[in-house]
Amino acid sequence: MALKRSSKQLVDEASARIRTISVEEAKASFGDADVVFVDIRDVRELERDGMIPGALHAPRGMLEFWVDPESPYYKEIFGSGKRFILYCAASWRSALAAATLQDMGLDAVCHMDGGFTAWKESGGPVAPRPSSKPKA
């Protein structure tokens, strides 16, 4: 089966029209109260590798629904006026996600070049995924 566009083409097209920041720029924003890091990786990746401390986990499959105020899954953080830095493992999924959120009208969104892998390799802080299980 021949595809009209490859996944690489989709990522390249998204990357050409979104803001991509370096790991260094992301690290400079770490701890800024007006910035939200958004981890769009699968929960298994978070459990295995950890995540940026304080990041919001918004699974890629739910992201558009969490951002849309008309959706029953809407999360108010996305209406907060803060700036959002999306990341995944290598920055492919986050490029696609940032382009989609821009298309939806969320302007204060960018993604981190190299993703979580580059963050870890640069010595950025990493924390375990917070437990969602109630404590006994």
- Per-residue confidence (pLDDT) for residue 58, from 0 to 100: 97
Q: What is the pLDDT along the chain (136 residues), one digit of tens a residue?
A: 889 999 999 999 999 999 999 999 999 999 999 999 999 999 999 999 999 999 999 999 999 999 999 999 999 999 999 999 999 999 999 999 999 999 999 999 999 999 999 999 999 999 999 876 655 5
Q: Are 110 and 84 in contact (CB under 8 A)?
A: yes
Q: Encode 81-130 in three state secondary structure.
A: CCEEEEECCCCHHHHHHHHHHHHHCCCCEEEECCHHHHHHHCCCCCECCC
pLDDT at 1: 82
Is this prediction's pTM over 0.85?
A: yes
Domain boundaries, the chain: 21-53+83-124
Determine the Cα–Cα distance for residues 84 and 100; give it in Å rounded to an integer: 13
In this structure, which topology does domain 21-53+83-124 adopt according to CATH? Oxidized Rhodanese; domain 1 (3.40.250)
Query: What pLDDT, on the 0 to 100 scale, is given for residue 131?
Result: 76
